[in-house]
Amino acid sequence: MNAELAEVTATMRGRGEWEHRRFFPPGPKLALCLSGAESTLADLSETELVEVAAAARRQTAWAQARELAAIAELARRRARDEQDDHPDYRILSAHESVVEEVAAALSLTSESAATQVHLAERLHTDLPETRCALEAGQIDLPKVRAISDLTDHLPADVTATVEEAVVERASEQTTGQLRRRIRRIVQRLAPEQLERRKREAIAGRRLEVWETPDGTADLSLRDLAAADAHAIHNKITAMAHTLRQDGDVRTLDQLRADLAHQLLRGTPLPEVARAVQVEHTEPSATAAPEPTTASGPREHDTASVLADVIDARLTQVTEHARMQGRLNGLSARLQLAVRDIDEQLATVRDALCAAADHRHIGYRPPAAMRKVIEDRHPVCVFPSCNRRSNRCDLDHTTPWREQDGKGRTCPCNLAPLCRRHHRTKQTSGWALFQPWPGLLIWITPAGTWHIVHPERHLE
Ligand SMILES: [Zn+2]
Ligand SMILES: [Zn+2]
């Protein structure tokens, strides 16, 4: 018997801590088994380490099911409370408001939060078995997403049939296998739905560009008809092969990228190959421009001290409410607390504002003031928003009123808000304060808060 086999046999015979825990269901007990210092892992066999990894994944699925259940419950309550007889388009709907709350709480973009809320709602209406399988740790979140995504907009009976057919085996399949299986079943049960989905996707075809963490940019043609995309790829690949045969040392990937680049810049096809060769021998030496940094005044030190004070105060208010068992209506109490701090600061803030002599008479801030605000907040001041401030409105945090000097047009009372988060601010339960120039405090309907500092940069 060789050494490897001996080890396997010994492991199988051994009575390790993790034996019989392969199907241990997730929940508080499994959490206890999984907790403990990292050093305890050193005592486990390799088989047991794999079991621990699998168990931790089951536990993660369980926790994700809890997260989605909480979101679904919040969405359900808000929808129930909404009076929908006269929808007001100046404010967010109950559903949109929940999306923004989730975005702020989980640090997600509005789009990701909307996806998360939608998934939570689907699990609690159309996909009960999928929800149970996630909570039991049998399938993970990517598989849940696959099931939800591919059954979205299907008739209810088809969704139910698909779910029943795929959930059980999903635990042994990869996400890719699961997707293909669902597609086959839908193709059989509702082929016209798949066809419609494809048409809708093609109607949404687009060219996208986004910056990468390496300082490069990706350019992508999205949702073309599959035949068109393959035809383009094949043609460029064939040209790249020809260049390689002629002795070009670049990789196939590099050549495909360089050829596509030339074609998209409008170089006629016959000249592309030549252009690509010339370009390669004379690399362009355009230096990237130095990024400009906004250097703000010292007032930011004060802002960060104030942020700590406000955070401590709001924590205190929350703890107090929790002890009294009065967490409902917390949002209003937090707003009161911030308003209080805001009033305490009014005298010193007004004196600084007068000394700076930067107020503007009239509603619309002049260009120079706009620049100051945009340097201070290069993006919308909602905590998870990345919309550039030069594409936002400058919002008067306290609404503009000329007569009594309230809500004045000056850097003490302006901040960039994109259209969506402008509506968020107007929605009942939400509040936004600017107790110090550039320091913004959001209070959400559920009674949490988010502090946005000056000089918040694009991330
Ligand atoms: Zn001012
Ligand atoms: Zn925004």
- Measured in Å, residue 409 CA sits from the centre of ligand 2 at 21
- Measured in Å, residue 409 CA sits from the centre of ligand 1 at 8
Give the per-residue pLDDT at 456. Answer: 54
Give the per-residue pLDDT at 269. Answer: 58
Q: What is the pLDDT of residues 390-407, one digit of tens each?
A: 999 999 999 988 666 678
Residue 459 — pLDDT band, cuts 50, 70, 90? very low
Residue 162 confidence (pLDDT) above 80: yes
- Measured in Å, residue 417 CA sits from the centre of ligand 2 at 5
Residue 291 — pLDDT band, cuts 50, 70, 90? very low
Query: What is the number of the ligand closest to the CA of 100?
Result: 2
- Measured in Å, residue 443 CA sits from the centre of ligand 1 at 23
User: What is the rounded average pLDDT of the residues 120-137?
Assistant: 96
- Measured in Å, residue 304 CA sits from the centre of ligand 1 at 18
- Measured in Å, residue 190 CA sits from the centre of ligand 2 at 39
Mean pLDDT for the chain? 85
Which residues, 6+ apart, have CB-to-CB distance to 117 below 8 Å?
A: 71, 75, 95, 98, 99, 102
Residue 317 confidence (pLDDT) above 60: yes
Give the per-residue pLDDT at 122. Answer: 97
User: What is the rounded average pLDDT of the residues 77-82?
Assistant: 85
- Which of these, 128, 180, 135, lies nearest to 159 by C-alpha position? 128
Residue 351 — pLDDT band, cuts 50, 70, 90? confident
Kindly state the DSSP code that residue 409 receives in the 8-state scheme: B
Query: What is the number of the ligand closest to the CA of 415?
Result: 2
Residue 141 confidence (pLDDT) above 90: yes
Q: What is the pLDDT of residues 189-241, one digit of tens each?
A: 999 988 998 999 999 999 999 999 999 999 999 999 988 998 899 889 988 99
Residue 41 confidence (pLDDT) above 60: yes
Strands 449-452 and 414-417: unpaired
281 vs 27: CA distance, rounded Å: 62
User: So where are the chain's domains?
Assistant: 16-82+89-190, 225-281, 299-452
- Which of these, 391, 385, 445, lies nearest to 110 by C-alpha position? 385
Query: What is the number of the ligand closest to the CA of 436?
Result: 1
**Is the distance from CB of 457 to CB of 449 less than 8 angstroms?**
no
394 vs 34: CA distance, rounded Å: 49
Of 25-34, 97-106, 228-237, 286-295, minimum mean pLDDT range: 286-295
User: What is the rounded average pLDDT of the residues 129-157?
Assistant: 95
Q: In what order do the strands lie in the sheet with 449-452?
A: 431-436, 439-443, 449-452
Query: What is the number of the ligand closest to the CA of 346?
Result: 1
Residue 68 confidence (pLDDT) above 60: yes
Give the per-residue pLDDT at 156. Answer: 93
Query: What is the number of the ligand closest to the CA of 398?
Result: 1
Residue 1 — pLDDT band, cuts 50, 70, 90? very low
3-state secondary structure of 231: helix
Give the per-residue pLDDT at 131. Answer: 97
- Measured in Å, residue 408 CA sits from the centre of ligand 1 at 8
Give the per-residue pLDDT at 202. Answer: 94
Residue 279 — pLDDT band, cuts 50, 70, 90? low
Residue 179 confidence (pLDDT) above 60: yes
Residue 299 confidence (pLDDT) above 90: no
Query: What is the number of the ligand closest to the CA of 416?
Result: 2
Give the per-residue pLDDT at 91. Answer: 85
Q: What is the pLDDT of residues 409-447, one digit of tens each?
A: 999 999 999 999 999 999 988 999 999 999 999 999 888
Residue 35 — pLDDT band, cuts 50, 70, 90? confident
Residue 15 confidence (pLDDT) above 50: no
- Measured in Å, residue 346 CA sits from the centre of ligand 1 at 11
Percent of the chain predicted with pLDDT > 70: 85
